[in-house]
Amino acid sequence: MRLIENWFSERYSDNLQLSFRIKDQLLSIKTDYQRIDLFDTYDFGKLLSIDGTVQLTEKDEYIYHEMITMIPYYFNSKPSRVLIIGGGDGGAARRLVDLGIENIVNVEIDGNVVEVAKKYFPAISSSFKEKKVNLIIGDGIKYIKESKDKFDRIIIDSTDPVGPAEGLFSEEFYKDIQSHLTPNGIVVTQSGSPYYQPTALSMAHNGMARIFKYVKTYCAFIPTYPSGLWSFTMASSEEFKKRDEPTVTGKYFNKDILEGSFYLPEFVKNLIK
Ligand code: AG3
């Protein structure tokens, strides 16, 4: 008898990859922007990959989505208008809806990501059915250049800074972002694995630091992303002030995480000096 085992692997370096044993490959499409694959894995449920990199899994998506929305939520004025750039799976929008945000604009460049999410991740993408969420299929960089709107938070939920998302890590883009934030508004971006993608983190942090007076990096443990240690970087033109209000407890996020995720290992601090 021959046993055929199927695995999906994301390559981290020439010498290391993370492999998921899969029950099935549900989809593989090449869009105008990227390649989208969908797998049914044994340990993490459905897994969405873009250009060979894990974007989300059913089992651990809550960590990334709580951390990109809830940490910046509790600083400065209570947000009511939020812009998401990327985030076509709807996961970030869903958390914002749960936080009670009244007005959410979500600009995703690749409509196929939204379609895939609607079909295969109905719970995560259910946010797109909400009246409060205005989904726009378009280029976030262009949107921000042309829009006259101001937002209290801008969430950059992008892929890695190679390919279509590269411009989302540039100083020029952060400048445009700044002009669309309310005075103590906050921009946050995912800034990669400090261990395997140190340049993603330094690009985001140093790029933001050239435009904004206040920049802070925080980390979270995300088992399905390279090295498990993941970074997020947020910036504002005014000093960060934690609001004095009780925090919601998520599945990862809690009041200790709101404080503790800003304590960084020394090698991470050295990347953003
Ligand atoms: N977007 C950021 C995922 C980056 C993962 N990188 C990697 N696996 N190399 C997440 C999309 C979820 N809304």
Distance 3 CA to ligand 1 centre (A): 32
Q: How far apart are CA 233 and CA 215, in angstroms?
A: 7
Does 1 score more than 60 pLDDT?
no
Phi, psi for 238 (deg, rounded to 5): -115, 160
Domains of the chain: 2-57 (2.30.140.10), 61-271 (3.40.50.150)
Rounded to the nearest angstrom, the distance between the alpha carbon of 71 and the centre of ligand 1 is 18
The predicted-structure confidence for 83-128, as pLDDT tens digits, reads as follows 999 999 999 999 999 999 999 999 999 999 999 999 999 999 999 9
153-173 as b/e, with b when 16 or more CB fall inside 10 Å? bbbbbbbbbeebbeebbeeeb
Determine the residue of 37, 113, 124, 160 to mutate for testing ligand 1's pocket, defined as the one with the most ligand atoms within 8 A of the Cβ atom. 160
The pLDDT value given to residue 164: 79
Q: How confident is the model at residue 162 (pLDDT cuts 50, 70, 90)?
A: confident
Produce one character per residue of 37-47: b if its CB has 16 or more CB atoms within 10 Å, e if not.
Answer: bbbbbeebebb
4 pLDDT more than 90: no
Of 46, 196, 221, 225, which is best to mutate to test ligand 1, by the most ligand atoms within 8 angstroms of its C-beta?
Answer: 225
What are the beta bridge partners of residue 157? 86
Residue 157 bears catalytic tag: yes
* pLDDT tier at 6, thresholds 50, 70, 90: very high
What average pLDDT does the structure give for the chain?
96
Residue 105 and residue 2: Cα distance in Å, rounded? 51
pLDDT digits (tens, 9 = 90+) for 34-81: 999 999 999 999 999 999 999 999 999 999 999 999 999 999 999 999
DSSP for residue 6: -
Look at phi and psi of residue 228 and say left if phi exceeds 0, alpha if psi is from -120 to 50, else beta: left
Question: What per-residue confidence (pLDDT) applies to 224?
Answer: 98
Q: Which residue has the higher pLDDT, 166 or 66?
A: 66
Band (pLDDT 50/70/90 cuts) for residue 165 is confident
Mean pLDDT of 212-222: 98
Give the percent of the chain with pLDDT over 90.
94
- Closest CA relative to residue 12, chosen from 52, 46, 43, 50: 52
